[in-house]
Amino acid sequence: MRERIEGIESYMVALRWDSDVVRLELIRHLSPITIERFYRSLPIKGMVVNSGELLYISAPIDTRTEKPRGSMRRGHVAYSLSKRMLVIALSDVRLNESVNPMGRVLSGIELVSGLKTGTTVELVRG
């Protein structure tokens, strides 16, 4: 039988690399299926791709389109189904694809902006 969690509105996730930690808040009502599947898959180690406007972190999970958005604001977190990656907006941006909204960076967007392509990061609960 599947475990059911009642009354949880958001999950806290830590993005870690080297000695740096950035906290993300995943807000369940934005994309409940995607967020549940992502959170249950943690911990995830992934490689970073920094495009200047967006930061991608490889995080392959099986999900579907939920409340898709074609733009993101700085600090917002989403999931790209086509790339199977977590996406963090480093600036306000209009996208070439739709993404599932997931939440936001609570603090440390400057640290995230400094991540270089090829860096390995870990996403963990907390």
Confidence at residue 126, expressed as pLDDT on a 0 to 100 scale: 87
Neighbouring-strand partners of residue 120: 47
Confidence at residue 40, expressed as pLDDT on a 0 to 100 scale: 94
Task: Look up the CATH architecture of domain 10-125.
Answer: Beta Barrel (2.40)
DSSP 7-74: S--EEEEEEEETTEEEEEEEEGGGSHHHHHHHHHH-SEEEEEEE-SSEEEEE--------S-EEEE-T
Q: Which amino acid is at 19?
A: S
Q: Which residues of the chain have pLDDT under 70?
A: 1-7
Confidence at residue 7, expressed as pLDDT on a 0 to 100 scale: 54
Confidence at residue 107, expressed as pLDDT on a 0 to 100 scale: 87
Q: Which amino acid is at 76?
A: H
Q: Which amino acid is at 113?
A: S
